[in-house]
A and B are shown apart, each in its own frame.
Chain A
Amino acid sequence: MALKIVKGSIDRMFDKNLQDLVRGIRNHKEDEAKYISTCIDEIKQELKQDNIAVKANAVCKLTYLQMLGYDVSWAAFNIVEVMSSSKFTYKRIGYLAASQCFHESTDVIMLTTNQIRKDLSSPNQYDTGVALTGLSCFVTPDLARDLANDIMTLMSHTKPYIRKKAVLIMYKVFLKYPESLRPAFPRLKEKLEDPDPGVQSAAVNVICELARRNPKNYLSLAPLFFKLMTSSTNNWVLIKIIKLFGALTPLEPRLGKKLIEPLTNLIHSTSAMSLLYECVNTVIAVLISLSSGMPNHSASIQLCVQKLRILIEDSDQNLKYLGLLAMSKILKTHPKSVQSHKDLILQCLDDKDESIRLRALDLLYGMVSKKNLMEIVKKLMLHVDKAEGTTYRDELLTKIIDICSQSNYQYITNFEWYISILVELTRLEGTRHGHLIASQMLDVAIRVKAIRVFAVAQMATLLDNAHMLTGNTQRNGICEVLYAAAWICGEFSEHLENPMETLEAMLRPKSQEGNTDSTTAQEASQLMIDRLPLFVQSANLEVQERASCILQLVKYIQKLQQKDVEVSEEVCALFAGELNPVAPKAQKKVPIPDGLDLDAWINEPPSEKVDEKELARRREARKQEQANNPFYIKASPSSQKVYQETPGVEHIPVVQIDLSVPLKVPGLPMSDQYVKLEEERRQKERAEKKKKDKKKRKEKRSGRGKKHDSGPESEEDITPAHMVDIVTEEMPENALPSDDDERDPADPHKALDIDLDKPLADSEKLPVRSHRAAEVLKSPAEDEEGENVSSLEPKKKSSKEKREKKKDKDKDRKKSKEEKKKKKHKHEEKEEADLLCGQADEPAFQSEETNEVVTPPTSTSADVSDLDFWLSNAPVPSNTQEAATVAAAEAAPAPGAISVTTPDSEPEEPKDTEMEETKSSKHKKKKQKREKEDKEKKKKKKHHHHHHHHGDKGGEESVQNGTVEEEEPLPPMSNYCLLAENSYIKVAYDIQGNLQDGSQVVVSVIFENKCDSFLKSMEFNVLDSLNSKLQRPEGSGPHDSLTIPFQLPPGVSNEARFVFTVQSIIMPQKLKGTLTFIVKNEESSTHEKLDFKLHFTCTSYLITTPCYSDAFAKLLESGDLKSSSIRLEGVNMPFHHLLARICFHHHFSVVERIDSCASMYSRSIQGHHVCLLVKISSQTVSVDAKCDEPTLLGNVLDEIKQTFSQC
């Protein structure tokens, strides 16, 4: 055996390895392909061998060849073989190859499921890691479904290396298997607060990626992200979060208000350009969302613009580029603040870097106004002349056209100028955009009636000079312009000065488009007869067709004329009518008329012969139908457009043209002339207007709505040279107004648009193999149940078990039903009096049943109200009153919603059997329900009322809230309490439990530098007790202090986290500690020391855990819990404030709230359940509590008492 191995490896060493392959390829430069094909043959031989090492080597080489572009999918099976090797070395090679060449249609992927599952649960973390990495590249919907649960388990792995990979890959799983999103989301959310920064960063990454596509579902996470943003020091995470906020703010303006301050602080404090840039970007997004332009935000805009200017002025081209990019975002909402930097942007147009020039061009788009359009375009035209590369020049060309044509030619005051610009652009060599210019020419000529005379004249000249455009084959793109020119001349031929000449020009054999449907009738006929036969032989089919058409027509007319028949009117009529522009989406928007079935047979399928009579009848019927059908284009000229006006265009009311501009510009006009002319015109106008204004003042006549006094020329003052009547595009009647065709139906993210706040239904579980540990998220009580099972039967707890349990429950229920049936019989025998006792036990049963079925949205509404609560705390600098009322409207506490929803969901079981008895109680119930519904309706009405007042603030979730109580907003709260303070530094801390580890708590400490000196070398030390220990890095002694990984410049604060292990959590603890640091200023540095006492309250061991009321009820019924109670006197605050405080300071969550009574739940890191029943009656609060650990409970209650005694 050993010999065999040695022999194998000796064989192996003569195989080519990757290095040999690479070397070989480099040595065969001339016949590379041939060499590689021999190598592939060798590889095929190697793959046939049994030795896995040989195979792995072959696969490794294949991976390289794949990079060079060779298809290696034929080796997919061998890759799977190598993947399943037990050695990490080979496994890694296999997974790498798979990640490079597997994809969804690779069929062997099906074979990998079990192998991957095995690797995921491997004891070696790198096996798992390699499998996760590979899987992230080739995960398919099947793999995602089968492995989702395994990956979710890995999200709580002990090694952060695995955790972060598992978290990250979940995104891919969600994409392929959207059903997994909801069950996995709670755990993903937990990972946002993972102690390991890598895991945290991964979770942020995934959620940001999810939220970017469907931001509204992630609004409820805003407070959490906000906390992360203010506490994290990892720039990468910060950038992601800040980007995420950029996506969230448009949905929730209140969020924006809250963000502005910390973001501006970051902008001021950070030294990382990347972070600064993203902050600016998000501030811009916030400002856009608050587009109302509140006065006190102008400071923020100024700050952004100012910072961006610094970026743009930087010598680093990257910063310059990004600065311009961000600037263009500001431009959309605050064009004024950008316009003041026009100089800088125009300067960027001259930059040597094309990317930067393009960005600057983008900015120009938004900076034009009626006033400066001509000037800017003139500058651009200069650039067009200078530009060397065609791509950049083409870009310039499209930008010029974009700028001019934006928002329906809003900024063009003089269309003659624009036409001449277009004509000038036609002289560009080798542009691709002939078509664009042509369509602009057509658009302007058609839609701006006043310009037609001028346009026709220009087009005629253009046609005259057609040889200049077509002479060079390279200029091919521009030929399209000729088509437009010919079309304009033809359509509006009545404006032609010299039709014969133009016709001559058009018919010159070189012009490619013989679009000659002009109305020049008799005079031209002779000429046409001479020329047209040439076109009849044209290679272009359309030209041929049109030419022969016209030729025949003209010949016929000539014949008629020779017979002295008066035909001119009829000929004119042929060309009458006007074509109006049609909107681009018009075709799509034609609604399908009622009763039109496009899939139905138009005719009967040809089965039998139809006799003549039948045919005639049908024809008749069809005609009838056509006559009634408005969508059928009839042969008869009934449409209003055709033949309406005999000489056509002349009847269109053409507005008089202001004659301050000479109509005839000899030759090709120089657009520059117009700039001058325009200046003059404007001046004249201004003078005139002054006069007018004077007159106005005298006559006190209300003019044409021009209220501006003359002063500095403002936008409105510039009247267009032409009273332009821009014809709007035609849309079909009954066009559907929706614009819903924007989202790509194939977008995988569409499937991930899932409401994450709804509580999980029982059916929503990740598929689990039956013999495997089920780790489906449930409310804690059930979880506990599962754990109990597993502790009873070592390891193999199964979903079967659970199912059986359920069955048992069902049985129980059936039993009770049967009992009732029996009872029913009894009841029937007995008299009414007994019915009362039947009723008496009924409610109990019912409540049990509702518990079974209804899962009230505790966590959801808690989340939503949390968000509202959090947002309502936003420091709102202005409009406080409004904000307050909004907050009052939104901060409606969740529990109310629950009490409303509970009765709504009826038990599902058919209740025929129990009908008789339940009737009376049901009546009661219904009554209650109705009452509640009524209440809710009223409240909703109120709510809507609010909405009318405050616009669309609040978004959807406020509607879900349902109830509104006129309560004032909560005061701001913070969990951070002061740890120690001296003249140099202020230290505050907060303690949180760690859910993954029942013996760990994380202490977040904020250090704030209060003095003017630099604080450095900070060291944190705590004197461990037997019970609680500070976790120190490996290798350090039990009394060593921890170095804080940052320094504090003056005025800066930063946060550090320390992990403590605790054994018993039932008692509060105080740990003594010291903080040492060096205070350094210019002259000296001193060593300072600060003592503190770290107080671990019992509360800090509690973790906010949502609990469903059914689980809660079960917990209380179980009888394992010891109870205790306290009374608080003189509590003078609204009930919801009280609850919010308990939730916030003591990590509870509200299970259910009915009027002035609420049940609350929390769980300790070691799994103790703590249940509270809080009641309030006239300033007295009674708290009845139950917990499985009486000492813990007593301490928690004491702490609650203390919280309320402080306020």
Chain B
Amino acid sequence: MIKAILIFNNHGKPRLSKFYEHFNEDIEQQIIRETFHLVSKRDENVCNFLEGGMLIGGSDYKLIYRHYATLYFVFCVDSSESELGILDLIQVNSQVFVETLDKCFENVCELDLIFHVDKVHHILAEMVMGGMVLETNMNEIITQVDLQNKMEKSEAGIAGAPARAVSAVKNMNLPEMPRNINIGDISIKVPNLPSFK
């Protein structure tokens, strides 16, 4: 079973948190902080498994993580999961994120995750469900996600058009953002938008 999936950046800012066991919000934040603390102090070329962590710990549990550019993908799993299997899954996971988000944006980076956390959740739901791995086949995941997105678009129809237009206007300044540079969000300043109200 997977107990939690966390994605946070190099500064410990959560980009996605999915707990398959209930904790209250404060504890969740504590877990994220602690996990970040544990993971971030590790060198680049050490192994990707980590034991301990008081909150999520328990002897049966392990943290399995990968570090991509500015983001850490952390899975907390118990002994029924295969360590290498989960590592592969994270690989697939990030690939699927990249691939699906790529369809909406060119060159996915951390910013996309920040602004589309709901989409990321939906993708994740096709991969892991209730703490169990649902699908490992990347193509299958992408097909399902795409079909759902299509459905969403068709539902929006005419009624959605004005909203889309506005959001397009709002995003107009966004291309200026250095999308291709995968650095922490600190260096990127999103231009202030004129208020519409």
Contact = CB atoms under 8 A, between A and B. Distances in A.
A355 B51 contact: yes
B121 interface: yes
Nearest to B122: A92
Contacts of B116: 18-19
Nearest to A206: B132
A984 interface: no
A64 interface: yes
A317 B45 contact: yes
8 contacts: A9-B162, A60-B118, A92-B122, A133-B125, A168-B129, A169-B130, A322-B83, A355-B49
Contacts of B17: 67
A318 B29 contact: no
A172 B130 CA distance: 8
A96 B148 CA distance: 14
User: Interface centre among A10, A13, A18, A317, by most B CB within 10 Å?
Assistant: A13
Contacts of A12: 162-163
Contacts of B22: 103-104
B95 interface: no
A68 interface: yes
B176 interface: no
Given A18-B115, A236-B133, 4 more contacts: A133-B130, A234-B136, A273-B84, A318-B47
A205 B132 contact: yes
B134 A202 contact: yes
Nearest to A239: B82
B134 A168 contact: yes
Interface string B144-174: 1001100110011001101101110011000
A600 B32 CA distance: 50
Which range contains the number of B residues in contact with the other chain? 35 or more
A322 B84 contact: yes
A1042 to B, nearest CB: 18
A383 to B, nearest CB: 18
B107 interface: no
Contact of B192 (A27, A53, A165, A353): A27
A105 to B, nearest CB: 9
A277 B84 contact: yes
A235 B50 CA distance: 24
Given A104-B22, A274-B82, A68 B14 contact: yes
Given A27-B192, A70-B25, A355-B50, A277 B118 contact: no
Given A18-B118, A23-B190, A9 B130 contact: no
A93 B118 contact: yes
Contact of A67 (B14, B87, B160, B167): B14
Interface of B: 1, 14, 16-18, 20, 22, 24-26, 28-29, 43, 45-51, 80, 82-85, 87-88, 114-118, 121-122, 125, 129-137, 140, 144, 147-148, 151-152, 155-156, 159-160, 162-163, 165-167, 170-171, 185, 190, 192-193, 196-197
A274 B48 CA distance: 14
A2 to B, nearest CB: 10
Contacts of A133: 125, 129-130
Contacts of B133: 201, 205, 236
Contacts of A87: 155
Contacts, number: 178
Nearest to A101: B25
Contacts of B151: 88-89, 126
A20 interface: yes
A365 interface: no
A17 B167 contact: yes
A278 interface: yes
A318 B45 CA distance: 10
Contacts of A239: 82, 85
B47 A320 contact: yes
Contacts of A355: 46-47, 49-51
A317 B87 CA distance: 13
Contacts of B197: 14
A945 B137 CA distance: 53
B80 A208 contact: yes
A236 B129 contact: no
A894 interface: no
User: Interface centre among A12, A23, A70, A235, by most B CB within 10 Å?
Assistant: A23
Contact of B193 (A23, A240, A358): A23
Interface residues of A, number: 78
A161 B144 contact: yes
Contacts of A840: none
Nearest to B119: A18
Main secondary structure of the interface of A (DSSP, over half): helix
Given A22-B115, A205-B132, A317-B46, A277 B82 contact: yes
A1004 interface: no
A96 B134 contact: no
Contacts of A132: 129
Contacts of B28: 69
A352 interface: yes
The 10 closest A-B pairs by CB, nearest first: A136-B130, A274-B84, A317-B47, A103-B22, A353-B46, A13-B166, A69-B29, A321-B47, A239-B82, A133-B125
Contacts of B26: 69
B121 A96 contact: yes
Contacts of B1: 209
Contacts of A60: 118
Nearest to A272: B84
B163 to A, nearest CB: 5
A827 interface: no
B82 A64 contact: no
Contact of B82 (A19, A136, A278): A278
A208 B155 CA distance: 40
Contacts of B48: 317-318
Nearest to A20: B170
B43 A164 contact: no
A821 B185 CA distance: 91
A321 B69 CA distance: 24
A198 interface: yes
B190 A27 contact: yes
A137 B20 contact: yes
Contacts of A66: 25
Interface in A216-255: 234-236, 239-240, 243
User: Interface centre among A6, A161, A212, A358, by most B CB within 10 Å?
Assistant: A161
A13 B132 contact: no
A1060 interface: no
Interface in A812-860: none
A88 B152 contact: yes
A133 B128 CA distance: 9
B136 A209 contact: no
Contacts of B125: 96, 130, 133
B195 to A, nearest CB: 10
B122 A168 contact: no
Interface string A665-701: 0000000000000000000000000000000000000
Interface in A133-185: 133, 136-137, 139, 161, 164-165, 168-169, 171-172
Contacts of A84: none
A864 B115 CA distance: 56
Contact of A209 (B132, B190, B193): B132
User: Interface centre among B118, B170, B192, by most A CB within 10 Å?
Assistant: B118
A616 interface: no
Contacts of B47: 317-318, 320-321, 353, 355-356
A165 B129 contact: yes
User: Interface centre among B17, B132, B152, B162, by most A CB within 10 Å?
Assistant: B132
A1099 interface: no
A132 B130 CA distance: 9
Contacts of B122: 92, 96
Contacts of A356: 46-47
A63 interface: yes
Contacts of B114: 22, 26
Given A12-B163, A14-B196, A274-B82, A136 B129 contact: yes
